[in-house]
Amino acid sequence: MFPKELEDGYRQWRDERLPHERGRLAQLAALGQAPIALIIGCCDSRVSPETIFSAGPGELFVLRNVANVIPPYRPDGKHHGTSAAIEFALGGLAVPHIVVMGHSQCGGVRAYLNPDFDKAGEFIGPWMSLIEGAKEDALARNPDLKGKALETAVEEAAIRVSIRNLRTFPEIQRREAEGLISISGGHLDIANGNLRVMDEETGNFSPAL
């Protein structure tokens, strides 16, 4: 059975928002999409890029996975959903911006920080091993970190790891060298909605506004 809550939500969208978006949707259907950015975010239900950035249909190309992780470039013939989405965003849509956006209270990062991390499920553990070194990165910047402060710092470090992995893609390297694309990092505090962005030179995060 289709969830009633989703039926109700669709009905509200159809009755209240669709009349205002109908022209835009028809144009997108006829001409295709040209999003201004690829947002690589977490699949956490509390962090919707379209909502956070007040984006309408066709404005953002959104890729979401556990903990906004980007694997390194590895064309080995296996199943790589994240890498496939990045490839399409570049080759099919020529997006001019990529934003890797993490957030507070990230369940994937908490799994990674768990002492029993290697037992974190059949898929979550191997997936989160892609940010190996994030805790060491955070502690190298501040050895006194503990508790929530350490968790936040590792969330930030995971963004830096993902951006480094993103730059292993040859097409990313080419487009950056030619000035065709920008890469940014962001971290949202879900408790208060504050967005902090990464300084490209230092890797530190500071308020967006």
Average pLDDT over residues 166-183: 98
| Distance, CA of 143 to CA of 155 (rounded, Å) | 16
Are both 176 and 91 inside the same structural domain?
yes
Which pLDDT value is given to residue 29? 97
pLDDT band at 116 (very low <50, low <70, confident <90, very high): confident
Are both 6 and 62 inside the same structural domain?
no
CB-based contacts of 136-144 (< 8 A; 24+ apart in sequence): 137/161
Average pLDDT over residues 181-209: 96
Are both 150 and 172 inside the same structural domain?
yes
The burial of 157, by beta-carbon neighbours within 10 Å (0-12 exposed, 13-18 middle, 19 or more buried), is given as buried
Are both 40 and 69 inside the same structural domain?
yes
Are both 14 and 106 inside the same structural domain?
no
Average pLDDT over residues 163-187: 98
Which pLDDT value is given to residue 117? 74
* 81-95, 106-120, 137-151: the lowest-pLDDT one: 106-120
> Known catalytic residues?
42, 44, 46, 103, 106
Cβ proximity of 28 and 60 under 8 Å: no
The pTM score is 0.95
Are both 14 and 39 inside the same structural domain?
no
Are both 16 and 49 inside the same structural domain?
no
Give the structural domain span for 13: 1-32
The values of phi and psi at residue 153, to 5°, are: -65, -35
Are both 99 and 193 inside the same structural domain?
yes
pLDDT band at 121 (very low <50, low <70, confident <90, very high): confident
Are both 75 and 117 inside the same structural domain?
yes
How does pLDDT run across 12-62, given as a tens digit for each residue? 999 999 999 999 999 999 999 999 999 999 999 999 999 999 999 999 999
Are both 125 and 187 inside the same structural domain?
yes
The total of structural domains in the chain comes to 2
pLDDT band at 115 (very low <50, low <70, confident <90, very high): confident
Which pLDDT value is given to residue 150? 97
